């Protein structure tokens, strides 16, 4: 039994699915044990609660628990949900940032997804909102979380839902590709936590659907990717609409110059926290590079996939078209595969991810839209079918595996024309990737040894061969 009084919260306050399974289809976590509660019994009189919305924060039963999170200042009503989510001991980023955030400090966090950063900002944010104890005004939000992609926004929303079970705090997610009218309608009532992609937020602000004058808490998640995508103007516009008196938390996996400028203009004397120095891959990922001609990559991929048919794998391609073509080919060869890229509708992307999370599809072919943020602990393999031309994206892509303490394997398929990209990746990571197959062109190997200039193929070694599609399924494919 949970100590919470979920049934006591008026239905009006439930913007969505607290009592339903979460969006990934998993049942919401159950709390083991019966925590003791202090003060009065849960009030089950709905009508009375409707009449006294201000009181609900105070009247709520507060569990008397002592955990590493409550000791850092996290509200017990939130902390009580964590063991059921597998969150028992704070991760390094949580340890370093939660106490400062609870105190109200701004924060600049250098951290990738997989480090537990959503809880690092989400738990203190919920704690502060509970302590303020006020309902949002119509068409306002009390906290705003900006994320670069719909997928990351969805994932954050799921996490916030889970942390906030049993509290009156509700989140609402607004992303492109979904009905703006439905979003406008929901915002009428105001929302505690608004999770948005910058483009859609600007659209909603322009329609007068939401106003940020009362937003006292701002999180910029994966800020470097927001800059890469070109959201800088949107971010500047949004910044101007926020009150000066606010708490701002900015998380980024890398710290390019523009990012530093943005951080300077957004943050006030921030606490600086770094885990996993930027550009370095998580230690638990077993990485390798396989040299292969472009035209032989699909057959090689099938060979790798066939060795691990029951495990989840993400295959990264460079273009939407190429990724779509590859997924069709793999499907023809009998693999359970889905594709996710910018040409897919929001619904298609969500269905593809849901099927993959559930293990119905074992292979997800994706462009860099899925390189960041995706948190599916079961992903055991990442294949860089095409090497990314932005070296940092390699680190983000391979970070989709070896999550939640598990092991993971990342294989890069390097065609002769991609030697330059490989060198740039190694330079950014300050480490060499072990060769696990194929033959490294001799000249390229020499230059790689010397740590030669990145970005250009080694002379004479990396002559581009025209890509060709294999005409036959490889012997190793599940069925012809
Ligand atoms: P994030 O970096 O926020 O994407 O989190 C990555 C994964 O780590 C998510 O599945 C979280 O539920 C999980 N996680 C976050 N904090 C902890 C923790 N302290 N202990 C164990 N798992 C955690």
Tens of pLDDT, residue by residue over 278-294, are: 445 556 788 999 999 99
Burial label for 39, CB within 10 Å (0-12, 13-18, 19+), is exposed
Residue 368 belongs to what H/E stretch? none
Instruction: Tell whether the model's pLDDT for residue 88 goes beyond 60.
Output: yes
Lowest average pLDDT, out of 90-104, 180-194, 266-280, goes to 266-280
Instruction: Tell whether the model's pLDDT for residue 130 goes beyond 70.
Output: yes
**Contact by Cβ (8 Å): 218, 168:** no
> What are the residue boundaries of the structural domains of the chain, listed by start?
68-274, 285-450
Return the closest-CA partner of residue 454 out of 429, 422, 480.
Answer: 422
Q: In what order do the strands lie in the sheet with 312-316?
A: 337-340, 363-366, 312-316, 379-384, 408-414, 285-291, 435-437
Can you tell me the mean pLDDT for 184-205?
96
Cβ of 118 below 6 Å from ligand 1: yes
Can you tell me the mean pLDDT for 304-321?
94
Cβ of 85 below 6 Å from ligand 1: yes
Q: What is the pLDDT of residue 261?
A: 83
CA dist 389 and 418 (Å) reads 9
pTM above 0.75, yes or no: no
How many other CB atoms are there within 10 angstroms of residue 326's CB atom? 23
Cβ of 90 below 6 Å from ligand 1: yes
DSSP result, 297-327: HHHHHHHHHHHTTTSEEEEE-SSHHHHHHHH
Q: What is the pLDDT of residue 283?
A: 62
pLDDT category at 470 given cuts 50, 70, 90 is very low
SS3 category, 390: coil
State percent of the chain over pLDDT 70: 77
Q: Separation of 117 CA from ligand 1 center, angstroms?
A: 7
Q: What is the pLDDT of residue 276?
A: 62
Mutational pocket test of ligand 1: of 24, 26, 82, 86, the residue with most ligand atoms within 8 Å of the beta carbon: 86
The listed range with the strongest mean pLDDT (70-79, 393-402, 463-472) is: 70-79
How many other CB atoms are there within 10 angstroms of residue 26's CB atom? 12
Task: Write the residue with the smallest CA distance to atom 14 of ligand 1.
Answer: 116
How many other CB atoms are there within 10 angstroms of residue 84's CB atom? 15
Cα 202 to the center of its chain, rounded Å: 21
Q: What six digits make up the tokens of 18?
A: 């607290």
Can you tell me the mean pLDDT for 90-104?
95
pLDDT category at 315 given cuts 50, 70, 90 is very high
Can you tell me the mean pLDDT for 359-365?
95
DSSP result, 253-312: S---HHHHHHHHHH-SS-EEEESS-TT---TTEEEEEEE--GGGHHHHHHHHHHHTTTSE
- Fold match flag (68-274 vs 285-450): yes
Strands in 30-140 per DSSP E = 37-38, 62-63, 107-110
Task: Write the residue with the smallest CA distance to atom 23 of ligand 1.
Answer: 87
Q: What six digits make up the tokens of 370?
A: 């899925």
Can you tell me the mean pLDDT for 347-359?
91
pLDDT category at 265 given cuts 50, 70, 90 is confident
Q: What six digits make up the tokens of 280?
A: 């370095």
**Contact by Cβ (8 Å): 414, 291:** yes
pLDDT category at 368 given cuts 50, 70, 90 is confident
Q: Separation of 272 CA from ligand 1 center, angstroms?
A: 20
**Contact by Cβ (8 Å): 129, 144:** no
Mutational pocket test of ligand 1: of 404, 405, 408, the residue with most ligand atoms within 8 Å of the beta carbon: 404
**Contact by Cβ (8 Å): 61, 24:** no
pLDDT, tens digit (0-9, with 9 covering 90-100), for 421-450 = 999 999 888 888 999 999 887 666 666 565
Burial code (b: 16+ CB inside 10 Å, e: under 16) for 229-268 equals bebeebbeebeeebeeebbbbbbbbbbeeebeebbeebbe
CATH tag, 285-450: 3.40.50.300
Return the closest-CA partner of residue 400 out of 443, 365, 450, 350.
Answer: 365
Q: What is the pLDDT of residue 420?
A: 92
Q: What is the pLDDT of residue 37?
A: 39
Task: Write the residue with the smallest CA distance to atom 22 of ligand 1.
Answer: 87
Mutational pocket test of ligand 1: of 87, 97, 110, the residue with most ligand atoms within 8 Å of the beta carbon: 87
Instruction: Tell whether the model's pLDDT for residue 390 goes beyond 70.
Output: yes
pLDDT category at 113 given cuts 50, 70, 90 is confident
Instruction: Tell whether the model's pLDDT for residue 456 goes beyond 60.
Output: no
Can you tell me the mean pLDDT for 136-153?
94
Relative orientation angle of helices 232-241 and 257-266, to the nearest 10 degrees: 10
Return the closest-CA partner of residue 126 out of 83, 169, 95, 93.
Answer: 169
CATH tag, 68-274: 3.40.50.300
CA torsion sign, 224 to 230 to 235 to 238? negative
Cβ of 152 below 6 Å from ligand 1: no
Q: Separation of 114 CA from ligand 1 center, angstroms?
A: 6
Relative orientation angle of helices 297-307 and 320-332, to the nearest 10 degrees: 60
Atom of ligand 1 nearest to the CA of 89: 19
Can you tell me the mean pLDDT for 64-86?
95
The listed range with the strongest mean pLDDT (2-6, 50-54, 108-112, 171-175) is: 171-175
Cβ of 109 below 6 Å from ligand 1: no
Cβ of 87 below 6 Å from ligand 1: yes
Q: What six digits make up the tokens of 173?
A: 């997610």
Q: What is the pLDDT of residue 444?
A: 63
Residue whose structure tokens are 């891959």: 281
Q: What is the pLDDT of residue 12?
A: 29
Task: Write the residue with the smallest CA distance to atom 1 of ligand 1.
Answer: 116
CA dist 266 and 249 (Å) reads 9
């Amino acid at each position: 039994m949970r100590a919470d009084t979920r049934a006591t919260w008026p239905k009006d306050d439930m913007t969505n699915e607290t009592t339903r399974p979460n969006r990934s289809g998993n049942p919401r976590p159950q709390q083991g044990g019966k925590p003791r509660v202090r003060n009065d019994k849960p009030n089950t009189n709905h009508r009375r609660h409707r009449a006294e919305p201000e009181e609900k924060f105070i009247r709520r039963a507060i569990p008397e628990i002592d955990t590493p999170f409550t000791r850092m200042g996290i509200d017990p009503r939130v902390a009580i949900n964590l063991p059921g989510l597998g969150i028992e001991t704070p991760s390094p980023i949580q340890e370093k940032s939660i106490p400062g955030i609870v105190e109200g400090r701004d924060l600049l966090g250098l951290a990738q997804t997989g480090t537990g950063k959503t809880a690092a900002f989400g738990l203190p944010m919920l704690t502060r909102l509970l302590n303020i104890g006020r309902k949002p005004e119509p068409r306002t939000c009390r906290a705003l979380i900006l994320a670069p992609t719909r997928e990351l926004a969805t994932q954050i929303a799921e996490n916030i839902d889970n942390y906030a079970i049993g509290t009156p705090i509700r989140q609402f997610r607004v992303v492109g590709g979904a009905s703006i009218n439905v979003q406008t309608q929901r915002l009428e009532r105001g929302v505690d936590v608004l999770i948005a992609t910058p483009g859609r937020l600007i659209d909603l602000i322009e329609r007068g659907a939401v106003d940020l004058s009362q937003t006292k808490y701002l999180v910029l998640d994966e800020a470097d990717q927001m800059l890469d995508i070109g959201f800088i103007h949107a971010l500047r516009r949004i910044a101007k609409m926020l009150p000066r008196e606010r708490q701002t938390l900015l998380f980024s996996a890398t710290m390019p110059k523009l990012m530093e400028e943005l951080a300077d203009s957004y943050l006030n004397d921030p606490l600086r926290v770094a885990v996993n120095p930027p550009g370095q891959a998580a230690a638990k990922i077993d990485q390798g590079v396989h040299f292969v001609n472009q035209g032989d990559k699909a057959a090689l991929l099938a060979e790798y996939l066939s060795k691990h048919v029951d495990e989840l794998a993400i295959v990264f391609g460079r273009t939407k078209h190429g990724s779509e073509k590859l997924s069709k080919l793999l499907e023809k060869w009998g693999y359970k595969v889905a594709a996710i890229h910018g040409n897919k509708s929001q619904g298609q992307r969500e269905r593809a991810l849901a099927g993959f999370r559930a293990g119905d599809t074992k292979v997800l072919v994706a462009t860099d839209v899925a390189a960041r943020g995706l948190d599916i602990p079961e992903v055991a393999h990442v294949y860089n079918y095409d090497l990314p031309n932005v070296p940092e994206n390699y680190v983000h892509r391979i970070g989709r595996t070896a999550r939640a303490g598990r092991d993971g394997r990342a294989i890069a398929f390097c065609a002769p024309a991609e030697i330059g990209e490989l060198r740039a990746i190694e330079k950014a990571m300050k480490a060499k990737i072990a060769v696990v197959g194929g033959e490294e062109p001799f000249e390229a190997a020499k230059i790689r040894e010397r740590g030669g200039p990145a970005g250009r193929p080694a002379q004479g070694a990396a002559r581009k061969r025209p890509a060709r599609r294999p005409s036959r399924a490889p012997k190793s494919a599940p069925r012809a």
